[in-house]
Amino acid sequence: MIRHNRLLYFLALSTLIFSCCLNAPAESPKKLRLQLDWYPDAERGGYVCASVNGYYKEAGLEVELFPASPEVGTLATMLAGRADLCLVTSDQAMMAHAQGLPVLSVMATMQHDPQGVMVHSESPVKDFSDLEGRSIAVAPGTAWFLYVTKKYHLTNVREVPLTFSVATFLSDQNYIQQVFVTSEPYVCAQHHVNVRTLLIKDTGCFPYRVVAATDQLIARDPAAMQAFVTASIKGWQKYLTDPSATDAEIKKLNPEMTQDLLNFSRKTLIAGQFVSGYTEKGETIGKLDPARLEAEYKILRDLNLITGNHDYTESYTTQFCGRN
């Protein structure tokens, strides 16, 4: 009788535990806030794609995307606690870390930066060395401009503030400005203005565009960071091959965006291998190569943008995106 009662007790207890497991609420998704470095568009399409296709949700994450504008400092937003992650360039992250800020690059948004210099097709400027004696509109504090000035011995080149518009360019045949080759050339073509572009990456200065996080977040929840990176890479892979659902969402988030511009931008990203990188060099979506980052550090030291000795290897991690 005692054995029988014990058996009934254990059966009842097992049933209760099983029932509780079945009815236990699912673990709440971990929330992450990603500060973009511009408005939603094709150049940020991988993150929108991961969101709209449910890749973040499948990874146990709830990721909120915040648009930016020229007035928004993405690193400042993250460091102020208004975002968990942000999009920057790897040289920006490296310089911030050298200043003692807890910033680390965790994955590459783009293997190669699609920034360039845009001139009118009739311009005598054929190479960066031809910028001597001319004015160029660039974003303030741009490392690549200092690099180009030094490399090509430009002693008489004038920097003017970039307005993030092509209005002046369209009306001035001599105007030269910094652009994304995936965007502004299309806008100029719509106004029947022919242009040429010089890619900054061809000068030997080729920072990554990256996702940055604080070292506190990485230490606190490395599993969430890994889930974010994996889902984001999946989002980029999907967007480059099947953009339909993502483009529809981008146009909702950014009503000024057109399908033609999205098509142009995505095709240019693919043709230039800006996101995927050069497979023959071992580059892949998301990957950070320590050798490239070392070369970047040496450039920043040479330009005195980083002063004194600094362990640049602490400004990034390959923990989540891998080295191979």
Q: pTM to 2 decimals?
A: 0.89
DSSP 166-198: SHHHHH-TT--EEEETTTHHHHHHHTT--EEEE
Domain count, the chain: 2
Note whether 142 and 174 are same-domain residues: yes
Average pLDDT of the segment spanning 36-41: 95
Q: Does residue 22 sit within a domain? A: no
Give the Cα separation of 230 and 233 in Å (integer): 5
Average pLDDT of the segment spanning 223-235: 97
The answer to whether the Cα torsion of 211, 212, 216, 218 is positive or negative is positive
- Give residue 260's pLDDT: 98
pLDDT in tens, 108-154: 999 999 999 999 999 999 999 999 999 999 998 889 999 999 999 99
What are the structure tokens assigned to 81, written together?
A: 């606690």
Note whether 101 and 125 are same-domain residues: no
Residue 62 has pLDDT above 70, yes or no: yes
Q: pLDDT-based confidence at 100, cuts 50/70/90?
A: very high
- Give residue 141's pLDDT: 80
Note whether 136 and 182 are same-domain residues: yes
- How distant, in Å, are the alpha carbons of 83, 98, 178, 189 from that of 186? 32, 37, 14, 5
The angle that helices 290-302 and 90-98 make with each other, rounded to 10 degrees, is 60
- Give residue 322's pLDDT: 65
Name the domain boundary from 175, 203, 231.
Answer: 203
Q: Could you tell me the CATH number of the domain that includes residue 188? A: 3.40.190.10
Note whether 237 and 298 are same-domain residues: yes
Note whether 179 and 194 are same-domain residues: yes
Domain with 131 in it: 115-203
Q: pLDDT-based confidence at 27, cuts 50/70/90?
A: low
Give the Cα separation of 235 and 50 in Å (integer): 4
Q: Does residue 1 sit within a domain? A: no
Residue 292 has pLDDT above 60, yes or no: yes
Note whether 99 and 214 are same-domain residues: yes
Name the domain boundary from 180, 203, 226.
Answer: 203
- How distant, in Å, are the alpha carbons of 48, 138, 143, 157 from that of 153? 41, 18, 15, 10
What are the structure tokens assigned to 21, written together?
A: 């497991």
Q: pLDDT-based confidence at 56, cuts 50/70/90?
A: very high
Residue 9 has pLDDT above 90, yes or no: no
Name the domain boundary from 148, 174, 203.
Answer: 203
Strands 115-120 and 195-199: antiparallel
Beta strands (DSSP E) in the chain are 30-35, 61-66, 85-89, 103-110, 115-120, 135-138, 158-161, 177-180, 195-199, 209-214
- Give residue 73's pLDDT: 86
Amino acid at 260: D
